[in-house]
Amino acid sequence: MKNIVMLALGAFTALAPAPVLASAASAASVQVTVDSHLRPGETLKAGQTRRSPNGQYLLAMQADGNLAFYNSAKKGLWSTGTSGNRGATAVMQYDGNLVVVSAGRKALWSTGTATAPGASLTVQNDGNLVLYSKDGDPLWERRANFARLTSNRMLEPGEYIRSAKRQYILLMQNDGNLVMQHKNTALWSSKTAGNAGAFAVMQNDGNFCVHTRDEKPLWCTKTSSNPGAFLQIQDDGNAVVYSAAGKPLWSSNT
């Protein structure tokens, strides 16, 4: 395998578990705010929101502790998966990290962008949530996972993982093919095209797989029996499944 490195466990911030979206009734119980930005130092408490300028998308800090994103039909599009933590708040920290913290000030979820002081979150008219640096560069967005995919995290059609330096993406295409790209050039794929609606998932047994929308496996890394394993998109263009201890288990050899 090419350019595989042993990873220190504390080197990256893991993302939250797969999203847990609340009901439409929960979304309706919040107080809608017209502002579309969450700026450095600002906090969203339970019941507080940010809304896109066109009024079609709503980011809500729910009473159950989940930070969730809805469209105008009150359909859940994304969440931090932090329900079950009443009293939690979302904080746009001065260091650039967006964090959901419990009532006891324990970090429950974050964007992992703590090295970008002055960054802010924007609820956009196109249905995306984007965290921009103070210079306007995108640092995080709801449709992408950055560098790492942890246990039980999924890539739905159109979603992707991007390397830390933004040069490579692993894209779950709408046609069912999982593709590693560099500047729109395909470097590797799972060869699962022709399966519209397929998705990729980093399973909690350590296997990274592409499934049909009916959850039939189409392709896997064959790395099961490794609970806690994760997928890393490296800055050298290589996709690697590492064990919880940082041992390489599979690579795209790109």
- The CATH code of the domain that includes 66 is 2.90.10.10
Residues 131 and 189 occupy one common structural domain: no
Hey, CA dihedral for 64, 143, 162, 253, is it positive or negative? positive
Is 28 or 160 the better-scoring residue by pLDDT?
A: 160
Examine the fold and report which residue of 85, 118, 141 is the final residue of a domain before the chain moves on.
Answer: 141
pLDDT at residue 30 in the model: 54
Residues 149 and 132 occupy one common structural domain: no
Residues 77 and 182 occupy one common structural domain: no
221 domain-assigned: yes
Residues 154 and 117 occupy one common structural domain: no
Full domain range(s) for residue 225: 144-251
Supply the mean pLDDT for the chain: 86
Annotate the chain with three-state secondary structure: CCCCCCCCHHHCCCCCCCCCCCCHHHHHCCCCCCCCEECCCCEECCCCEEECCCCCEEEEECCCCCEEEEECCCCEEEECCCCCCCCCEEEECCCCCEEEECCCCCEEEECCCCCCCCCEEEECCCCCEEEECCCCCEEEECCEEECEECCCEEECCCCEEECCCCCCEEEECCCCCEEEEECCEEEEECCCCCCCCCEEEECCCCCEEEECCCCCEEEECCCCCCCCCEEEECCCCCEEEECCCCCEEEECCC
* pLDDT tens, position by position, 77-116: 888 889 999 999 999 999 999 999 999 999 988 887 888 9
pLDDT at residue 10 in the model: 30
Residues 91 and 155 occupy one common structural domain: no
Examine the fold and report which residue of 91, 122, 141 is the final residue of a domain before the chain moves on.
Answer: 141
Residues 134 and 162 occupy one common structural domain: no
12 domain-assigned: no
Please, which pLDDT band fits residue 43 given cuts at 50, 70 and 90? very high
5 domain-assigned: no
13 domain-assigned: no
Residues 156 and 127 occupy one common structural domain: no
11 domain-assigned: no
State what percent of residues in the chain have pLDDT above 90: 65
178 domain-assigned: yes
Please, which pLDDT band fits residue 7 given cuts at 50, 70 and 90? very low
* pLDDT tens, position by position, 201-232: 999 999 999 999 999 999 999 999 999 898 99
Residues 52 and 28 occupy one common structural domain: yes
33 domain-assigned: yes
* pLDDT tens, position by position, 19-39: 344 433 344 455 555 699 999
Residues 96 and 116 occupy one common structural domain: yes
Cut 0.75: pTM above it: no
* pLDDT tens, position by position, 141-156: 887 766 788 888 889 9
For residues 174 and 199, give the distance between their C-alpha atoms in angstroms, rounded to a whole number.
9
Residues 136 and 193 occupy one common structural domain: no
Is 233 or 138 the better-scoring residue by pLDDT?
A: 233
200 domain-assigned: yes
Name the domain count of the chain. Answer: 2
Residue 13 pLDDT exceeds 70: no
Q: Which residues pair with 223 in a beta bridge?
A: none
Examine the fold and report which residue of 79, 109, 141 is the final residue of a domain before the chain moves on.
Answer: 141
Residues 124 and 162 occupy one common structural domain: no
Residues 29 and 137 occupy one common structural domain: yes
